Structure 1
């Protein structure tokens, strides 16, 4: 038994923290803390450091291998006679690393804290009972070893297509000469280059949080944030398996048993392109007393895979299924809250699950393409357009217009990320285009050219005082606007788009357009990455 346990310690996960004490007393000197960082013994600490450096050097050599191989080829070193001595050297290094790993396993086996952790992990793998899961949740360790808590296979949903998730498709091609064989051959290099760009630096530029180097740099901060969620908020960490096989790292904080008006509402949070639930937008609804479910993009922290649009949609789908079928929430009790690029998965969620109660988009955009063109040379325009539309088509506005429920857009007036010309030009903020697309779809008879000019004038206001001045300048009567919308809704009960405003005078349409714009969008005078305070978080207006 002891030898088997040592063998498991040899290949066991790295242990980072003990969140809560179990039956054993706390180690001496830690009595005042609810949790503590795992302290490896000297042998384990040094051997772990050696293996860590070896892993880093392997990663570095892997990514630089094309350059290394090119150099060796030019120097004439790639031949059997010259490579043979190096193969013996590599074999010696591998044997030494294996010996170091055995010593690390021995050091872990001699540590009572790690030994108890491995015992609990093995018991949980054999029997995934609530009692064993609760014990295992007291530890923070490599998430790849965490047993799966929920899989998309546990639920059959006939309204979704292949694999349980509606497929995302690139823009349709037009028939005609463009589809000829000659044109396909001519554009083949463009397709190849687009694929290489999307699967190399393009994906990493779009989602820098998926870069391993950044995650290593942020690891102490992420571990601290996770400890806070578990130890202060009694958060529950779960592993979900999506239909593409990716494992999604989630954190759930349950407030249903607490006093307060918001505990029965679940807020599902969708993070930005370098955001993690450990330190991201989860904190805003938590401060408001909501039940909160956060998750990490594929390839971020404990989640596996890469964050391409289809993988993102698959992850969001299993998160919603988990919330409904495992956590026991109804779709009409769920609010989806997203920050920045998280608006893509959020808009996909409400498009695919229209019964969801509401959507809040903070510092989000209408379409990725204008922002991608902003950071690339003009000569690359056709290539960037093809790459985005084919592999990274984050068409938030198109998805949002397929949702019938309440929506709130939060615009950062000093946003430096989703503006196409700079934070000083508030009219280049792509949140404006998202609002206009939504209003034009839902209220096409109201959003005439004159109404659009009035709304754009309101959007160009750089402060609350200027905004109020524009609003009062058009003499908007809120009570009248509300009564018009309520009367239309009572008479027809029709889904969007509405025909309200078709028999209205020019002045009435402008008033109604400004009234709706202020209901659908709120300004927050700050930059893109400033955390949203709970005072700025509201459940969207509903007629």
Structure 2
């Protein structure tokens, strides 16, 4: 029996924190960081360094292989001793892992944890997903967490969209084939990592203390519930749910699903903004981020978003009309996909988001890459789904944004959020957004302070009450989907007023940089006519 328990300690997960005592079931309360004994601590440090060196060698392997080849080390006579050396290292690391297991076996806290984990897995079968409140008291490697929800539990999952790469059979010459192949490799190697730096393991290791602290705050202060979801591609999605329905507030009945940026995690990301506003909140990590598995390719992103929404409806008990999707930066891609796939969603809020990846990618890459297939493929990934949603939309523009501007934060007119607003208004109100309507909206967008905004707005003598009455009258007479033909028989002055009125309703400015957390006071439900 003792030998079996020791083996479970050897193969068991890394325990990071105990959120609350597993002997008492009570929400809230402060937890404590798990303190390993001396043997476990030192052996775990050795294995951690080995893992970091493996990651470094993995990312630098192309350069390392080129160097070894030039030095003549890639040959049978040299590879045999190297393989023997690596075998010795692996045996030593295996011994270190066994010693770590012995150290865990001598720690009463770890023994209690591993017993609870084994009992939870025994009771947590696909047919009987019973959550163990005792297991929720611990923070440990998410790969060992029992499954809470799978896309297979939904009778009719969504019809997935396809983002296709150009077929190699379309390429006429061998040279073109090689060019396409190199572009494909760029897109699926460092191109993806540049686009989603949060998926790089070394960065996650560096951020681990911050992520653990953020997760502890969500669980211990807000009684957050961590869940593992499995998407249709097999990726495991790490989520955190905070339920405010019991609090009795009006906002608590609305669920805000948060879509993080390219280096954002729910532990420290935009989830905190609606949380401070009293909403029920569901955060999730991109594939390859935190506890989520896989890589953040567009199809995987869509699959993850789909299972998150299905989980909210079928497990958490929210109506689709009670869900608001809130996205920051590149999270606007999955948010846009969500509202197009589930048009009954209440509304969407896009913070510091953009319309087109290509101008932003070229800002940090050589000009010679402008015609690269890899850049075009990446752009297709994130623009192909830019269909326009029929429900309420709010865009939040950072007036000192240094990331999604093409010339610099001092030039507010180069902010790609401007283009997102213009495309939205042009689709929904084409008769209002004529050349003159676009001109006055661009003039308003050129304002970087509230005083300048008010000056442009008052300069055109916009009558808000008149604009509302015109739009309400059109809606009452027709009750049609967008695009609307309102404004086609209107004077130039009237179209100007409506263009500025709509621009101010669809977009709010926030005077700060791209990565500054959005205060709860700046998070609003989108305007409804």
TM-score, with normalisation over the residues of structure 1?
A: 0.93
The corresponding residue for 2:298 is 309
Aligned partner of residue 269 in structure 1, secondary structure: strand
**1:225-278 residue CA offsets vs partner (Å, 9 max, x unmatched):** 000000000000001111111111000000001021100000000111111100
2-side partners of 1:344 and 1:365: how far apart? 9
Aligned partner of residue 487 in structure 2, secondary structure: coil
Quickly say closer, same or farther: Cα 1:182–1:344, change in 2 above 3 A: closer
Gaps of 5+ in 2: none
What does 1:233-244 correspond to in 2, within 5 Å? 233-244=222-233
1:393 is the counterpart of 2:380: yes
The corresponding residue for 1:449 is 435
The corresponding residue for 1:54 is 50
2-side partners of 1:248 and 1:491: how far apart? 45
1:42 is the counterpart of 2:11: no
Quickly say closer, same or farther: Cα 1:243–1:542, change in 2 above 3 A: same
1:189 is the counterpart of 2:178: yes
The corresponding residue for 1:260 is 249
Quickly say closer, same or farther: Cα 1:347–1:180, change in 2 above 3 A: closer
Deviation of residue 181 (structure 1)? Answer: 6.0
2-side partners of 1:329 and 1:403: how far apart? 21
2-side partners of 1:448 and 1:181: how far apart? 40
Contact 2:20 2:29 in 1 (8 A): no
The corresponding residue for 1:474 is 460
2-side partners of 1:75 and 1:536: how far apart? 59
- Specify which of 99, 105, 123 is matched with residue 101 of structure 2: 105
1-side partners of 2:459 and 2:85: how far apart? 80
Aligned partner of residue 226 in structure 2, secondary structure: strand
2-side partners of 1:540 and 1:459: how far apart? 19
Deviation of residue 187 (structure 1)? Answer: 2.4
The corresponding residue for 1:95 is 91
Contact 1:316 1:345 in 2 (8 A): yes
Aligned partner of residue 523 in structure 1, secondary structure: strand
Quickly say closer, same or farther: Cα 1:168–1:81, change in 2 above 3 A: closer
Quickly say closer, same or farther: Cα 1:181–1:196, change in 2 above 3 A: closer
What does 1:345-494 correspond to in 2, within 5 Å? 345-383=334-372, 386-395=373-382, 399=385, 401-494=387-480
Quickly say closer, same or farther: Cα 1:80–1:188, change in 2 above 3 A: closer
1-side partners of 2:328 and 2:456: how far apart? 28
Deviation of residue 59 (structure 1)? Answer: 2.2
Question: Aligned residue pairs: how many?
Answer: 524
What does 1:12-91 correspond to in 2, within 5 Å? 12-23=12-23, 34-91=30-87
The corresponding residue for 1:29 is none
- Specify which of 324, 329, 343 is matched with residue 340 of structure 1: 329
2-side partners of 1:353 and 1:244: how far apart? 20
Contact 1:123 1:132 in 2 (8 A): no
1-side partners of 2:164 and 2:97: how far apart? 46
Deviation of residue 131 (structure 1)? Answer: 6.3
Quickly say closer, same or farther: Cα 1:360–1:132, change in 2 above 3 A: closer
The corresponding residue for 2:320 is 331
Please identify, of 445-454 and 75-84, the stretch whose mean Cα deviation from structure 2 is larger. Answer: 75-84
Contact 2:397 2:507 in 1 (8 A): yes
What does 1:135-174 correspond to in 2, within 5 Å? 135-157=134-156, 160-161=158-159, 165-169=160-164
The corresponding residue for 1:223 is 212
What do you get for the CA RMSD once the two structures are aligned?
A: 2.0
Please identify, of 482-491 and 400-409, the stretch whose mean Cα deviation from structure 2 is larger. Answer: 400-409
The corresponding residue for 2:123 is 127
Quickly say closer, same or farther: Cα 1:248–1:224, change in 2 above 3 A: same
Gaps of 5+ in 1: 26-31, 174-178
Aligned partner of residue 316 in structure 2, secondary structure: coil
TM-score, with normalisation over the residues of structure 2?
A: 0.95
Please identify, of 402-411 and 126-135, the stretch whose mean Cα deviation from structure 2 is larger. Answer: 126-135
